Each structure stands twice: as structure tokens, then as C-alpha cells.
Amino acid sequence: MIRRWRTAVGLVLTAVMLFPVYWMVNVSLTPAGRMRKSPPDWFPAAPTFEGYERVLREQLPYFATSLLVALGTVALTLALAAPSAYALAKLRPRGHRALGFVLLVAQMIPGIIMALGFYGIYVSLGITNTAWGLVLADSTIAVPFAVLILTSFMASVPDELVQAATIDGAGAVRAFWSVVLPASRNGVVTAGLFSFLWAWSDFVFAATLDGGGSLRPLTLGIYRYIGNNNQEWNSIMATAVVASVPAAVLLVLAQRFVAAGVTAGAVKD
Amino acid sequence: MQDTREPVTVRPAARAPGRTGRRRPQLLAWAFLAPLVAYLVLCYGYPLVTNVDLSLRSYTVRTFVHGGAPLVWFDNYATVFADPTFRTALLDTLVFTAASLLFQYGFGLALAVFFARHFRLGPTLRALFLVPWLLPLIVSGSTWAWLLNSESGVVNSVLGWFGAGRIDWLTSPSWSLVSVIIANIWIGVPFNLVVLHSGLQNIPAEVYEAASLDGAGAWQRFRHVTFPLLRPVSAITLLLGLVYTLKVFDVIWIMTKGGPGGSSTTLATWSYQLGFGSMLPRFGPSAAVGNVLILLALVAGLLYIRAQRRQEEP
């Protein structure tokens, strides 16, 4: 009896928490004419896809940019993080504690400050408005986290496994590539997942380093809508829904990795 | 969902194998680390040094592009500290951070305790709670901006049922800070829920059984068992929350742009406002505000590391 009651309360709490998400979808389907209605429509009474049509018409290239930048960030982050995590977890050279400290501190630097520094450098090098420039900047959000979380995953790979490979004649590179890396696949998924999400939703770097050109990520697309026309909230919300799709997909496909990532973010070594 | 804690509870093994030769493993390890070290120097060190340099010079748009800005040492900092906005921004940053942390933690803890019991759909609902945390901040920001819209926002409409008058959430100086805090609390609750929930899972069931045998009620069990045993996890959750909240920029900028009249300006949004918010960028002062914010974040960070060290020592 009490369990059933708990389920009911849980459902109500979840509904309250997710109401803004529902509202985003609802507004995205509301025709522009009914937007200012008071009281508002609680359900999409007369659903329209004009918001989504506009998104497809105007935002498709931005969508592609976001995807490109996010995937590039994942690749760069993993390429940097996996070998270093292996060294930190299994080879543990002198000074690895200091490096761990630097990584912790790096995570605490506000993105807005990094953005100003990057802007100064990019302007003097003339590389603003480039996709790879954005990839490089966005990766700074994820790299320290990825190294730390991969280190804790790789540390949990039994040393006997590595030793066995070494006895079979594998060098450090082989041991890393064929033993430790596959064994910590979950860590790689978690690190990749968060790199993707953070790069996908980055606004600070996009707004500062990628303001002028045609190559803009989706977050700037939404921002431009908000700035330009406060009237067409269905287009803004439709873009928001589209921008949320990766988060939704990842949550469904990989919810236990997400939870692992959140927890590891707090209690990492 | 039970295995979510698996990677973090495992401690690194004592020693790496094959450490017989001294030199070679060292070199080998640093060969694996070299790309990361180069990256940290180039992508963290260099921008940060650039930022310090920016804050010590007097820039115009021209000198920013072509170089040759004169060194003015701490003039930018003096300008920033003398600006009346500094006091507002510092105060707003503190209020924003304190209120966000308090409510994120409070709601997160209540929900974690609620979800700690087993019931049908519990794990699924808990996973759904993650959604607000996973959404891009610009999405959350614009959604809340519309929810809180004065005329057509659903929040005012619901408040109207209870006879409340219209609140100008985003456009009145007395409410704008409250509005961005509400949105930020909503974004941060899932993180607190997940971390505190995993902390609760680590408390052995026997402790509760013993407390029940001693006749402790539900509230007493929470006060004298759950809360004290959860303290290390709570400390880390709050400190990480502090570090994250000091950084918050997107949500505030999207909802209010720090306005009206600077009423929801924090150090982060002020720094952006100075550097990128207008046609006349003031890079020097912007960088100076940024460096003040870094100092605050670093103090919070050092507290965090200390708390974590203490937790690791059994």
C-alpha cells in the first residue's frame, strides 16, 4: 500500500519537475496567433508545425555545425584523455599528484574567463569563426573531467590483466590499446557522452569566438531568435526542442553512464 | 542503476607492475602524458596568461587587433572596484550562489531520501529527474524566460488562480534576481539528487536497523543517522555546487542580460557585458572582473580539495 502511494507521489514530483520541459514542447506546437492568449492553452489544442518548419528552413546548417563541433570535441578529448589517464592510473610517474591537482583546478576556471583569453589569442592569430577553433576551446570544458574520470575507471582494471599481457610480450602501448582501453569501455562512453553534451550546449565560446561568420552552432541560432523577434516563441521553443534531442536520446540510451558521470564528477580521486 | 557507483569507489591499486628499472617507466609514462601537458599549457595556461595581460593594459578595439596597448598596471582593477556596479555584482553573485546552493541541496536531499526507498517506477522516475541537468543551458534559460513572461507566462497565470497579482518576473528590478535563481535551482536539483542518492546507498542498512531497534522514529533516524553519515558527501556536493554556481553565465544572460538596471548582474555576466556586451568593448576591465572571479573560484576550489582530502582519510 505504502509502495503504491510512493509511486503516486513520485509521479507527481516528476511531473512538477518536468513541467517546464512539457511546456517547451507545448509552446513549440502553439500557433503564433494563440501565443499571447490568457490563460494559455494547456495542451496543443490546435497544433502547428510552423515553428519546426522554420527551424528546418533556417537552422539546419547550425544543427550541422553543432554536430560537427561536438563530435570533433569528443574525438579530441578522448585522444588526449585516454593515454594520459592510462599513465596516471597504471604507470603513475613521479608528479602525477601535482598533475591531478592541476586538472582539478582547471575544472574550476569559469568558462567566461577562458573565453576572453581565447578571444584575445584567436583575434591576434586571425582564427575566429573556425570550427576547429571552437573545437579546441570547447574541449577545455571536458578534458580535465575526462582525464579524471578515465583515470578512476582505468585504475579499477586489475593489474593482473596488464601483467598477463606484459608477460605475453606486449609493450606499454599494446597493454594500453588492447587491454586497459577495452576494459574501461564504460569510462570511455561516459567521458565521450559528457564531452558531447557540453560541446553541444556550449554558448559562451560560441558567442565569443564564433559571432560573425555563417558557421554558427545551434545555441547561437536560438540566441539570435530570442534577440530578433520576441513574438515567435514557437520557433524559439521548436529550436529548443531540437537542441534538446541529443540530451533526450543520450538519457534513454545511456542513463546509467550519465548517473555514473554525475557521481564521478563529485567524488573523483 | 545500482552499479552507478562502481568506478568511483574503487581505489587505485598499490603499485603499477614492472617498476624494476627506474628511468624507463618514468619516461614512458611521461610520453603518454606529453600531449595532455602540452594541451594544458596551450589551452589553459596561455589563455589565462593572456587574460592577465589583458587586465593590465589599456585596450581599444584598434590596439586589440594590432597590438601596442600601453601597460597601465592596476588601473583597470581600480576602475572596476570604483564602479558602483562592482558592489551590486559582488552582492548578486553571493546572493545568487547562496540561495541556489541552499535550495538545490535542500530539494536534492529531500528527493534523495524519497527515492532511496524501493517502489515501482522509482529508478525510472529518478532517471527522468536528470533531464533538466542535461538540457543545454540556453534551452533551460529561454524556456524559463517564457514561463515567467509577465503577460503570457504560465507561472503568472497559475498564480492568478490563487488571486495573486501579475508579477513582472524578468522586467522588475526586485524580481529579476529571484527569477534567475529559480531557474538555476531547477537546473541544479538533479545533480544534488544523484550525488546525495549515491551517498545514501553507501550507508549500511544495519545502522538503520539498529536505530529502529532503539526505537528511533523516521525523523530521528534522519537527524541522527542519515544526515551525520552523509556529511562528507554533503560537503563535496555543496562545494562542487559552489564552484559551478560561481561560473553560471548562460542562464542569467539569456533570461535578463543582467538587467533591468544591473539588478541581476553577477561578476560573470558583468565580465561578459564589459567585454562582449556592447559595440564598445572594454577588454581590460572585463579581464579584471574575470580575474576577481577566478580568485573566488580558486578559494572555493581549494576548500573543495581540502574537504575531499579529509574525506579520503578514513
Concatenated DSSP letters of chain A: -HHHHHHHHHHHHHHHHHHHHHHHHHHHTS-GGGTT-SSPPSS-SS---HHHHHHHHHTHHHHHHHHHHHHHHHHHHHHHHHHHHHIIIII--TTHHHHHHHHHHHTTS-HHHHHHHHHHHHHHHT-TT-HHHHHHHHHHHHHHHHHHHHHHHHHTS-HHHHHHHHHTT--HHHIIIIIIHHHTHHHHHHHHHHHHHHHHH--HHHHHHSSSSS---HHHHHHHHHHH-SS-HHHHHHHHHHHHHHHHHHHHHHHHHHHHHHHHHHS--
Q: Which pLDDT score, from 0 to 100, does residue B22 have?
A: 54
Q: Which pLDDT score, from 0 to 100, does residue B8 have?
A: 42
Do A185 and A66 sit in the same domain of this protein?
Answer: yes
What are the structural domain ranges in chain B? 86-251+292-312
Q: Is residue A72 part of a domain?
A: yes
Q: Which pLDDT score, from 0 to 100, does residue B313 have?
A: 61
Cβ distance B294 to A219 less than 8 Å, yes or no, reads no
ipTM of the complex: 0.86
Residues of chain B with confidence (pLDDT) below 70: 1-24, 311-314
Do A76 and A113 sit in the same domain of this protein?
Answer: yes
Q: Name the residue of chain B whose CA is nearest to A158's CA.
A: B13
From chain B, the residues in CB contact with A122 under 8 A are none
By Cβ distance, the residue of B48, B194, B290 closest to A262 is B194
Do A106 and A62 sit in the same domain of this protein?
Answer: yes
Mutate to test the interface with A, among B134, B195, B237, B304 (most CBs of A within 10 A): B134
Do A120 and A224 sit in the same domain of this protein?
Answer: yes
By Cβ distance, the residue of B111, B131, B138 closest to A222 is B138
| Mean pLDDT value across chain A | 85
Number of structural domains chain A divides into: 2
Q: Which pLDDT score, from 0 to 100, does residue B312 have?
A: 64
Closest CA–CA distance from residue A1 to any residue of chain B (Å): 10
Q: Which pLDDT score, from 0 to 100, does residue B117 have?
A: 85
Q: Name the residue of chain B whose CA is nearest to A109's CA.
A: B294
Q: Is residue A235 part of a domain?
A: yes
Do A19 and A62 sit in the same domain of this protein?
Answer: no
> Which residues contact residue B28 at a Cβ distance below 8 angstroms, ignoring those fewer than 6 apart?
A91, A172
Mutate to test the interface with B, among A27, A113, A119 (most CBs of B within 10 A): A113
Cβ distance A266 to B39 less than 8 Å, yes or no, reads no
pLDDT exceeds 50 at position A269: no
Q: Is residue A52 part of a domain?
A: no
Cβ distance A223 to B254 less than 8 Å, yes or no, reads yes
Q: Is residue A51 part of a domain?
A: no
Cβ distance A21 to B152 less than 8 Å, yes or no, reads no
Q: Is residue A97 part of a domain?
A: yes
Do A5 and A87 sit in the same domain of this protein?
Answer: no
The pLDDT tens digits for A175-213 are 888 888 888 888 899 899 989 999 999 999 998 887 666
Do A99 and A14 sit in the same domain of this protein?
Answer: no
Cβ distance A143 to B39 less than 8 Å, yes or no, reads yes
Backbone angles phi, psi at B310, to 5 degrees: -65, -35
Closest CA–CA distance from residue A242 to any residue of chain B (Å): 10
Please tell me whether the peptide bond between B260 and the residue prior to it is cis, using omega within 30 degrees of 0.
Answer: yes
From chain A, the residues in CB contact with B155 under 8 A are none
Query: What is the C-alpha separation between A147 and A76, in angstroms, rounded?
Result: 12
Interface of A with B in 75-94 (CB under 8 A): 79-81, 83-84, 86-94
First to last CA, chain A: 42
Do A163 and A262 sit in the same domain of this protein?
Answer: yes
Do A128 and A252 sit in the same domain of this protein?
Answer: yes
The pLDDT tens digits for B125-175 are 888 888 898 899 999 999 999 899 877 788 888 888 888 778 888 888 889
Full domain range(s) for residue A8: 1-46
Concatenated DSSP letters of B145-165: HHHT-TTT-HHHHHHHHTTPP
| Residue A96's CATH number | 1.10.3720.10
Considering the domain delimited by B86-251+292-312, tell me its CATH architecture: Orthogonal Bundle (1.10)
Cβ distance A83 to B293 less than 8 Å, yes or no, reads no
Q: Is residue A177 part of a domain?
A: yes
Q: Which pLDDT score, from 0 to 100, does residue A3 have?
A: 78
**pTM reported for the whole predicted model:** 0.86
Q: Can you read off the three cell numbers belonging to residue A226?
A: 530570442
Do A41 and A64 sit in the same domain of this protein?
Answer: no
The pLDDT tens digits for A219-243 are 888 888 887 656 678 888 898 999 9
- The residues with which B57 forms a beta bridge, in sequence order, are B71
Q: What is the mean pLDDT of residues A78-86?
A: 94
Indicate the length of chain B as a whole number. 314
Whether A106 and chain B come into contact, CB under 8 Å, resolves to yes
> Which residues contact residue B93 at a Cβ distance below 8 angstroms, ignoring those fewer than 6 apart?
B246, B266, B267, B268, B296
pLDDT exceeds 90 at position A268: no
Do A135 and A261 sit in the same domain of this protein?
Answer: yes
Q: Which residue has the cell 598596471?
A: B73
Q: What is the mean pLDDT of residues A149-153?
A: 89
Q: Which pLDDT score, from 0 to 100, does residue B7 have?
A: 43
Q: Is residue A115 part of a domain?
A: yes
Closest CA–CA distance from residue A166 to any residue of chain B (Å): 9
Q: Which pLDDT score, from 0 to 100, does residue A123 have?
A: 86
Cβ distance A120 to B130 less than 8 Å, yes or no, reads no
Do A192 and A251 sit in the same domain of this protein?
Answer: yes
Cβ distance A7 to B121 less than 8 Å, yes or no, reads yes
